[in-house]
Amino acid sequence: MHMNIMKRIFKGRKKFIVIGILIILLGLTGWRIFAGKDKNPQFQTTPVGKGMIISSVSASGQFLSVNVMSATTKASGIIKKVYVKDSDQVKKGDKILEIDLDLQGKQKNASAWVSYLSAKNSLASAQAALYSSDAQMWAAHQTFMNDAVSRSLAPEDPTYIQQNDNWLAAEAKYKNQQQAIAQFKANVNNNWLNYIQTSPIITAPTNGVVTSLVFAEGMSIGTLDTGNTTSNQKVVTIKTEGMPIVSVNLSEIDVSRVETGKKATLILDSIPEKTFTGKVVGIDRIGQTNSGVTQYPAIIQLDSSADQILPNMAATANIILERKDNVLLVPSSVVQNRDGQGYVETLVDGQSQSVPVETGLFSDTQTEIISGLKEGDLVIKGTTSLIDSSSRSPSSGGSPFGGGVGGMIKMAH
C-alpha cells in the first residue's frame, strides 16, 4: 500500500515537470518570435518634393571706412570756438572750429606762411625766366630762317648747322623751363596746404554730414613740441554721399565659386533685425595667409545705407551663387557619395533600395535632384531597430532579456 502511494506521487510530480518544461519552451519560442519581429527596422522617411533652392556662400567681415573724409590739423592750442555739431550739413570751406594757438602753434603757422611766400616768389622768378626763354627761342628761330634757310644753305654747311643748333637749344631750354614752372606750381600748392594745416581756423574739406566731432570749447588740441612734427590730428569726419562697403573673407573652397556681380544679403551684428542687400564688386584672388590659413577678401557694396552703419562694424554676408524654382528637393543628409556617384536610400514596398541619383544645386539643408527620383518617392532619413540583447556574451554583463526598453532602441543614419 505504501508503495502504491509513492508511485502515485511520483507520477503526479512527473506531470508537473513536463508541463513546466512545455510552458518554458513555449515562452522562449514566443519571445524569440516577438524579438525577431521587433528587430525588423522601422524606417524614418520623407517624401521627395518640389520647391525653390538657393545656393549661397556665407562669409564674415567688417565695414570699411568709405565715403568719409577727415578734417585734420597740425595746430596746437585751446579750442576757442566750435561752429558745428554732429549730423550738421556742411559745404566745402565751412568753418568747423577755431583754435587759440599756443607758442609752438604760432611758430609753425608763421613758418608755414614764410615757406608759402618763398614758393610763390620762386614761381614768379621761374615764370619770368620762361618769358626770356620764349623770346630767345623765337629769336634763334628767326635767325635760322632769315640766314641759313633764305640763303639755301646745304644741311652740311657750318652756318646752317650752327644756326639750326642754336634754335633747337633755345627750344629745349624753353620746354625745360615749362617743366620747372609745373614743379614750382606744385611746390606753391604744397606749401599752401601745409599753411592751412597749421592755421587756427579748421574748415570742412568737402560737402557732407559732420560725424565723430569730439572737441568742445576750452579743450586743448595738439601737443607741445619743437615745431618739427609732421603728424596730423583728426578733428572731425565728414560723411559724403555713397553706399557702404563691406569686406568679407572667402575660404579656399568658396573663392572659385564667387564672381563679381553676384547678389548678396547682409546682416549686421549691431542691427540684427534688418537685412541689407548688395553685390560683389571685387575679389582679391591672391589672398592673405595667416597661421597656415589662406583667406580671399571680397568687396561687397550695399544697395542702400543707414545711419546706424559705422566703419569697422561686423557683418555676415550670404553671397547668392544660383537660384532655381520648382525643382526636386531632398534633405542634403540623405545623399551619399560612393566613388563620385550619388546615392539615396528609398523605401519601396517596405524595403530599402539604394538608388543612384544625379544632383544639382545644394544649400545647407537641401539638395536638388536632377534625375533618379520623382516627386512623392519616399527617401529614408534613418532607421529605428531593436538591438538583439540575447546575442550578448556573458562577459558583457547583460541578461538574456535585455536591460529595459530605454536601452534597446538605437538610431542608425
Same-domain check for residues 230 and 255: no
Is 148 domain-assigned?
yes
On average, the pLDDT of the chain sits at 82
Same-domain check for residues 148 and 112: yes
Is 332 domain-assigned?
no
Nearest Cα to 246, choosing from 264, 273, 229, 224?
264
Burial 27-52 (b: 16+ CB within 10 A, else e): eeeeeeeebeeeeeeebebeebeeee
Q: Are 75 and 229 in contact (CB under 8 A)?
A: no
pTM value is 0.57
Same-domain check for residues 163 and 255: no
Count of residues in the chain: 413
Range of the domain at 299: 57-66+241-324
Same-domain check for residues 175 and 282: no
Is 234 domain-assigned?
yes
Same-domain check for residues 234 and 256: no
- How would residue 365 be classed by pLDDT, with cut points 50, 70 and 90? confident
> Which one of 239, 263, 296 terminates a domain?
239
Rounded Cα distance between 329 and 374, Å, is 10
Rounded Cα distance between 406 and 411, Å, is 12
- What is the tally of structural domains in the chain? 3
- How would residue 405 be classed by pLDDT, with cut points 50, 70 and 90? very low
Per-residue pLDDT tens for 303-336?
998 878 888 999 999 999 988 899 999 998 889 9
Same-domain check for residues 178 and 233: yes
Per-residue pLDDT tens for 131-154?
888 888 898 888 888 887 777 878
Same-domain check for residues 246 and 229: no
Would you state the pLDDT for residue 388? 44
Same-domain check for residues 198 and 75: yes
CA distances from residue 140 to 167, 324, 370 in whole angstroms, order as listed: 5, 78, 85
Same-domain check for residues 61 and 72: no
HSE of 186, CA atoms in CB hemisphere, 13 A = 6
Would you state the pLDDT for residue 7? 53
Is 356 domain-assigned?
no
Same-domain check for residues 208 and 118: yes
Is 337 domain-assigned?
no
- How would residue 167 be classed by pLDDT, with cut points 50, 70 and 90? confident
Is 367 domain-assigned?
no
Is 249 domain-assigned?
yes
Asked whether residue 46 carries a pLDDT value surpassing 70, the answer given is yes
DSSP states of 166-209 as a string?
HHHHHHHHHHHHHHHHHHHHHHHHHHHHHHHHT-SEEE-SSSEE
Strand-pair partners of 50: 328
Per mean pLDDT, which range of 52-66, 122-136, 211-225 is the poorest? 211-225
Asked whether residue 224 carries a pLDDT value surpassing 90, the answer given is no
* CATH code where residue 251 lies: 2.40.30.170
Per-residue pLDDT tens for 324-333?
899 999 998 8
Same-domain check for residues 224 and 291: no
Is 128 domain-assigned?
yes
Same-domain check for residues 121 and 257: no
> Which one of 203, 224, 239 terminates a domain?
239
> Which one of 324, 346, 361 terminates a domain?
324
